[in-house]
Amino acid sequence: MKIYFLGIGGWLSHPEFGQSGILIEEGNTRVLLDAGEGTYERLSRCCHINPCDIDFIVLTHRHGDHILGIPTLVQHAKHHERRLRIVTSGDVINAVRNLLGSVGIEHYLKYIDFIEIQEGAEVWLSGNVSIRAIKAIHPPPSYSYIIRVSNWIIAYSGDTSPNPDFINAARHADVLIHEVSGTDELKEVLSSLGHTSSADIGAVVEGVMPKYFIPVHYPLEAVYVRAIPSRVKVVLPIPCSSITID
């Protein structure tokens, strides 16, 4: 399985980080996790992948650093007479509809197949891709996801405070992709905003015990991460790079 880091930052992190966008590729299957600004450009430049060849786009919530890349992806789909399959909550579906209207391309909605997912049950999107949504601790309404791609399990937090429900659902995932939004001294502020600090991430990783842990959102802060169990492989992502998981 290959993971491409298109964008690994938050809305106000260093501009070179880009905004949220992670592509999972396993064989001929491609799943995009979030689509912040610049997703189309980075798909083209970083991994030479046509957005129309992505099987599913999974969105966690409607904040701009997670959905503002959608209008360009839709325009690309329209140009090629293809369709995007977007998997997300009803709240985000409404936000995407409004977003396309606000930029004057609401008629391009016909190039999107929305797959609304509810919290809880595992849903099979195809023969080898399933997804389970866990309510995240973050405003506005947000999901974290457990995604199966063939024999791999990827736990993706999106934006959230440390969440026991997600930790339990993600236990022993192959890959944990979890936000880290600041250093220890910002713990209380970040928690109030629905984010995770480096003071808390060690306990999150220990609770999940994945094979690989990948911090995102403000990844420079990851150098302060403490108490990561030694048997967990930590991958510090670099924008416009990829890793192979085996």
**Tens of pLDDT along 164-195?**
999 999 999 999 999 999 888 889 999 999 99
In sequence order, what E strands does 55-194 have? 56-58, 84-88, 112-116, 123-124, 129-135, 143-149, 152-156, 175-180
CA distance 217 to 25: 21
CA distance 176 to 95: 27
Q: Say what the pLDDT of residue 125 is.
A: 98
Query: Is residue 223 pLDDT above 80, yes or no?
Result: no
- Least confident residue range of 57-61, 182-186, 218-222: 218-222
155, 169 Cβ separation under 8 angstroms? yes
pLDDT bin (cut points 50, 70, 90) of residue 161 is very high
Tokens of 66: 């997670």
Residue 213: closest CA among 161, 168, 177: 177
Please tell me whether the overall predicted TM-score, pTM, comes out greater than 0.95 for this model: yes
Query: Is residue 222 pLDDT above 70, yes or no?
Result: no
Higher pLDDT, 32 or 222: 32
Query: Is residue 47 pLDDT above 80, yes or no?
Result: yes
Q: Say what the pLDDT of residue 31 is.
A: 98
Tokens of 7: 């964008």
Domain ranges of the chain: 2-244
Q: Say what the pLDDT of residue 224 is.
A: 65
> What is the architecture of the domain spanning 2-244?
4-Layer Sandwich (3.60)
Cis bond upstream, residue 140 (ω within 30) = yes
Q: Say what the pLDDT of residue 182 is.
A: 86
CA distance 74 to 96: 11
H or E stretch at 165: helix 164-170
